[in-house]
Amino acid sequence: MATTLQGAPEQTRNSGEGLFVPDYVFVEPAALDYPLGQELYRRYQKEGVPIQMTTSHNQVRGIPGETDVEKYRNAKRTLVIGVRKTLKFEPSKPSAEYALPLATGCVGHCHYCYLNTNVGTRPYIRVYVNTDEIFAQALKYMQERPEEITRFEAACTSDPVSIEHITGNLKRAIEFMGQQEYGRLRFVTKFHHVDSLLDAKHNGHTRFRFSMNADYVIRHFEPGTSSFERRLEAAGKVARAGYPLGFILAPLYRFDGWEAGYSEMLERLSEQLVPEAMEDLTFELIQHRFTKIAKNLILQRYPKTRLEMNEADRKYKWGKYGKGKYVYPDQQAKALQHHLEAEIARLFPKARVEYFT
């Protein structure tokens, strides 16, 4: 049985700098059929965190709070230990073929986060204990594409590094993919808690990405995550551990002085990043976008946010199934893309920009 908390560093409540400790724990009975479920149950019982049973990890009732905002905040401090029953993986274009479902929900409070709508009324943190079944399913997907690389994205519905000290699932996934000739893993994080992953047998099959942004965006819109410096320091450790490294610059946001702000961020990155990281480095560029539903939820949950979401200033981009989103008008988006790509070429001549979207 794995003991994922042994030797864990400092723990604090509700801060990106320390490790997340839940205020409330819910457990699905079926999770106790798995060693990891039993281990987590015993751990939180010993630590005196209130534990309740729940019939389904999709319908947790009883998270305290008088108002919706209070309930939302408490949900973000609630851990739900469950079994992933749906083993149909979602597609994850453009960065991978499939999403690898290890967890759902995140302890961070980024105002613009896609999880605001993605997990809607269930913002609690769900971790899955049946990893062997999840990996067996990943293997099936790989077998459907013989002799072709299949990429799995482990950060589609969560920030897996922020909860790794709880389950150890990310390390398991990295080592599983390290053994697959045609399997590759990718994930992205805004957290610096990477130490337990440095000795994983990754075999170069996992691209470890950090989400970075201009100081203005991190300061105003990313509470509850690690600072720029901590992320950068963690990126150095990861590169030295031989992982292929990447940066996702998202959301690219046009604040006053954005050109100078993004240049400064990239300059700091290039000056401080260890040389090992430069050899196999990727960038992914994603402009800020929002939907009407997301805007309403963000304004409800973070009423003082300065995040600019004025539909009249944006272009409506139709998506699949008639669901669209607001992005920057073409000229503004192009200006973002050109500036970022030019600065990356200047400062990271060997790096590859995978896409701008």
115 lies in the binding site for ligand SF4 (CB under 6 A): yes
For residues 37 and 246, which CB has a smaller minimum distance to ligand SF4 in the complex? 246
Closest CA to 32 of 21, 45, 22, 19: 45
CA separation (Å) from 181 to 87, 184, 250, 279, 311? Answer: 22, 8, 30, 22, 46
**How far is Cα 139 from Cα 134, in angstroms, rounded to an integer?**
9
End-to-end CA distance of the chain: 42
Q: How far is the CB of 32 from ligand SF4 (least distance, A)?
A: 28
**How far is Cα 236 from Cα 240, in angstroms, rounded to an integer?**
6
**How far is Cα 286 from Cα 242, in angstroms, rounded to an integer?**
26
For residues 25 and 154, which CB has a smaller minimum distance to ligand SF4 in the complex? 154
For residues 100 and 110, which CB has a smaller minimum distance to ligand SF4 in the complex? 110
The 212-251 site mask, x for binding ligand SF4 (CB under 6 A), equals: -------------x--------------------------
Three-class DSSP category at 342? helix
The 166-205 site mask, x for binding ligand SF4 (CB under 6 A), equals: ------------------------x---------------
Over the range 140-159, which residues count as b (16 or more CB within 10 Å of their CB) and which as e? ebbeeeeeeebbbbbbbbbb
The 118-157 site mask, x for binding ligand SF4 (CB under 6 A), equals: ----------------------------------------
Member of 80, 81, 96, 110 binding ligand SF4 (CB under 6 A): 110
Q: Residues binding ligand SF4: what is the number (CB under 6 A)? A: 8
Q: How far is the CB of 136 from ligand SF4 (least distance, A)?
A: 26
Tell me the window of 64-72, 87-95, 110-118, 289-297 that interacts with ligand SF4 (CB under 6 A): 110-118
CB atoms under 10 Å from CB of 323, counted, come to 9
For residues 28 and 159, which CB has a smaller minimum distance to ligand SF4 in the complex? 159
> What is the separation of C-alpha 229 from the centre of its chain, rounded to a whole number of angstroms?
18
Contact positions vs ligand SF4 (CB under 6 A): 106, 108, 110, 113, 115, 159, 190, 225
